[in-house]
Copies of this chain bind each other. A is one copy, B any other.
Amino acid sequence: MTQSHNCKNELNDVELRATPARLAVMKLLETSSKPIDVQTIISFLEKKDIKADPATVFRIVNMFTEKGLVKPIQLHEGKFRYELANIADHHHLMCNICGDIEDISDCNIDALEKDIKKKKQFTVTSHSLEFFGLCSNCQK
């Protein structure tokens, strides 16, 4: 039986057991348009009546990161946010005023990474590119 999309399979693929909390976190990440912090995950789980201790949520995002399911993001907030790792390379625009986060793609950073390899003999495995400024609303 073919199946369109299934969080359980994704967890199986990386040899993680499909617990209610993990499945819910995966679903939240899949439906969210912006990187999510641990507090937001905790609130989401509470609303869904899935009880999960903060320690568990931290363990979940760390495990997901280790297994390559998610990518940690830092936006100068003093905490981490997380987003799915298997989405196309993209970056974020964060508004200094309202804090809203938008995605942006097409940064063509591959060329730069090749240049780094040549110049510095440094092999890039990942990068983070974030922009801060004023969103269209807050410029008014």
Closest to A126 in B: B132
Instruction: Tell me the complex Cα distance, A93–B124, Å.
Output: 8
CB within 8 Å of B: which of A76-129?
76, 78, 80, 93, 95-96, 102, 104, 106-107, 112-113, 115-116, 119-129
The answer, yes or no, to whether A29 is at the interface (CB within 8 Å) is no
Q: Is the CB of B132 within 8 A of A120?
A: no
Q: Is the CB of A116 within 8 A of B128?
A: no
Q: A72-B76, A76-B74 are in contact. Are A124 and B133 (CB under 8 A)?
A: yes
Closest to A130 in B: B128
A: contact size bracket? 35 or more
> What is the total number of copies of this protein in its complex?
2
CB within 8 Å of B: which of A57-79?
72, 74, 76, 78
A65 to chain B, nearest CB (A): 10
Using Cβ atoms and an 8 Å threshold, which residues of chain B touch A115?
A: 106
Instruction: Tell me the complex Cα distance, A2–B56, Å.
Output: 61
A125 to chain B, nearest CB (A): 4
The answer, yes or no, to whether A23 is at the interface (CB within 8 Å) is no
Instruction: Tell me the complex Cα distance, A95–B121, Å.
Output: 12
Q: Is the CB of A104 within 8 A of B128?
A: no
Using Cβ atoms and an 8 Å threshold, which residues of chain B touch A136?
A: 120-122
Using Cβ atoms and an 8 Å threshold, which residues of chain B touch A130?
A: 127-129
